[in-house]
Each structure stands twice: as structure tokens, then as C-alpha cells.
Amino acid sequence: MKIAMIGSGYVGLVSGVCFADFGHNVTCVDKDPGRIESLLRGEIPIFEPGLEELVAKNVRQQRLSFSTDLPAAVAEADAVFIAVGTPSRRGDGHADLSYIYAAARDIAKALKGFTVVVTKSTVPVGAGDEVERIITEARPDAEFAVASNPEFLREGAAIDDFKRPDRIVVGTTDPRAREVMSEVYRPLNLNQPPLYFVERRTAELIKYAANAFLATKVTFINEIADLCEKVGADVQDVARGIGMDNRIGSKFLHAGPGFGGSCFPKDTLAIVKTAQDYDAPLRIVEAVVAVNDQRKRGMAKKVIAACGGSVRGKTVALLGLAFKLNTDDMRDAPSISIVTALQDAGAKVRAYDPKAMDQARAIMPHVTLCEDPYHCAEGAEALVIVTEWDEFRALDLPRIKKLLAAPNLIDLRNVYRPADVRRHGFAYVSIGRA
């Protein structure tokens, strides 16, 4: 099949290259000529394990191409996926759908023959209705159907998630659209993926509900971690104990500095706003948003306390800036709130991340960026593990201790066992452990 992917950011690029790897002919379109030129040179604008190699393979086999020519790509396509950004709108927290609707207007002008227009971006309930209205108004003669096909990709494991999905949700009641979408995902039939057809608005809500629930699990275990510190329990043992219950499950029960990234912060806020608009407030999700914001800022207080109650004039070293490992994404990362709070308290901040340094240069101009963990630790009063990169799991602790001005290790991801670290003479602070 011929597929046009409108938007060549994270979701569009990963989805497009995976569809191409299934054997479809895919054109990834973007309005940014610089991004397209980079992709044509084989330069991938994001870090995702395995993505660069997969792009090169499918370009070489002529199944994947990149273009700024939206009309040409849409005119030949059986399915057109909209995968543009839906950031939080400034001022009110609603999802900004201006890019979605602009794409719909451009698509309408280029449609030829029956085409399925698919919202791959995360959109609030009813956005598909508006896309349908826009296209119908612009092209009353066009043969098309609008479907919702939300993505469920974890950054750092997106390719595996796309190729071995838990479920593929498709929102459409149009028989022709259902047939096209079945053919789009037919190459996955060997894995027997659960292709789940529902009404379009239901599909839109499934995405938000899933992210809100996972964010709630993260926030729940973070609050339990705070209680563990007060009562002398171990949050990792608590998480393991409750996770053994099949009704709860063990995933997303890892205590830490709070969630960030491109999905949870904006999606929880967007579903809260949608619920308020429909007079069905989601009090639990509202609390999740508030608690998570407070938690990220509160991590700096933990660092300051470990440094004797003040960091004024002191140097603090941060290991990890991306919101999670295996990505360079720093959107709403806990590190941003921690750095801001430490600097407000008078600290000088040094930092290192294996993949997010380019992002950090733009976001944190007053942070000293270092070439490796050991360079980062030099002369610091405290070393803070913010992101659980694998290379931080086996640091040369005697060497780190010699480099630090004071042997303070604050582990916000519980990478180490307390006894192991203290044996090397560190004052060790972690999350949810006495």
C-alpha cells in the first residue's frame, strides 16, 4: 500500500519507517525543509535505538522517502496519517490542535480517489469530527473517511512497540476504512496483533485514558515512597509486593523524581481540561498532575538537605538530563525543575547525559556540560543520579569519591543498593528507603 505520513517528528518518523519495513511504500512529509534535507542525508533528528539503521535500510530498498511536497504524497496515498504535534496550548492547558487542522486543510486539497485520513497524533475526543468537517467543507466531492489510530510507543523502545504491539486501536465505523486499515496492519498478522476496531471517539479517549492511568501508577508509587521514608520501609520491596498481584501488575511502579516526556504531562493535562469542558471532572487525574509537578520541584530540596541545608556557592553534579533512559527527549524532564531550583538556591550546576547534551545546550545555558560522569563529578559537593542510564549503574565509586569535594550521592532512581554505596564511604540518599 501507499502511505503518506504527515509530520516527520518522533511519532511520524518511527511509524513511517516501521510501515516501510512492513513492505509498504511510505513518504514522510514535513513542512520543515531543514528536517527533510537532514533526513535525505541520513541524519536522524532524534535518538531512538535502532531507528537510524532501519531508516537507512528502507531508504536503500526504496520503500521509504522524505519530502516537503504534501500534495504529491497525498494524491498517491491509500492512507494518509496525520502525525503532527499537539502540544499543550499556552494559557489553558488544552491540546493545541492548530497543526492537526492545518494538515487537514492541506490534505483536503490533494485528495484523489478514496483515501483514509488517519489521526495518529494524540488528539482530544471530537478532534476527528472536526478533521472530517474541515475536509468535507473544503472538498465536498472528495471520497474519504477519517479514522483514529492512536500510538502507544514508549520512547527508547518505540520500534519494538510498533512491531510487537499489545493492541492496535482503530476508531472507525466505515467499512472501506476498516478494510484499508486491516491491510495496512496485515503484515503483523503472523504475530496475531489484537486489531481492535471501535468508534472514533472511543479510540481518541482510549489513548488519553491509558496515559492517565499509567501516570497515576507512577504518581501513586512516588507518594508511597515518601511514606516509606517516614516509616522506615523500602519502596522497592513494597512495589514488588503489590506488583505480584495480577490485578495491579509490576510495570510503572518504579519510584523516582516524577514523570516527564512528550506524553504524560501534556496528555494528563489535556484529559483534565476535556473532562472539565464536559462537566465530568477527573479529580484523581487532577491530583496526579499537581502531585507530579510538586514532586519534580521537591527533588531539589532532597539534594539541598543532603548538602547540609544549603547549596549557596556550592557545585552540584547531575548525571542524566533526559526524562528517561534511551532517549534524548528533555520535554518536561525532572532535570529541568531540579536544575532551576538548585540555581535559584545559589548552586552552580554541572551535568552530563549520554544522549541529551545537544538538547541541554539550548534549554540549560547556565549549566556546565561535561564530557563524562567523572568529569562531571570533579569538585562537586554532591552527585545526583537523575536518569537511570546503564552507564551510571556501575560507576567506579572509589574514583567518584576522590573527585567529589564531599562524598554525597543522591540517587533519585534507586540504581544502587544502600549498603554497597555506604561501604565506599558515601553519604547516600535514595528514594523511598530509610
Annotated active-site positions, please?
263
| Partner residues linked to 67 by β-bridges | 29
SS3 category, 178? helix
Based on DSSP, count helices (H) and strands (E) in the chain, helices before strands.
Answer: 17, 14
Separation of alpha carbons 211 and 229, rounded Å = 27
Please state, as a whole number, how many other Cβ atoms lie within 10 Å of the Cβ of residue 227: 12
Angle at 314 between CA 309 and CA 317, to 5 degrees: 100
SS3 category, 40? helix
- Beta-carbon contacts of 246 under 8 Å, excluding residues fewer than 6 positions away, are none
Around 391, how many Cα atoms within 13 Å sit in the side-chain half-sphere?
11
- Beta-carbon contacts of 28 under 8 Å, excluding residues fewer than 6 positions away, are 5, 8, 12, 13, 16, 17, 39, 64, 65, 66, 67
Separation of alpha carbons 383 and 395, rounded Å = 12
Is the distance from CB of 330 to CB of 322 less than 8 angstroms?
A: yes
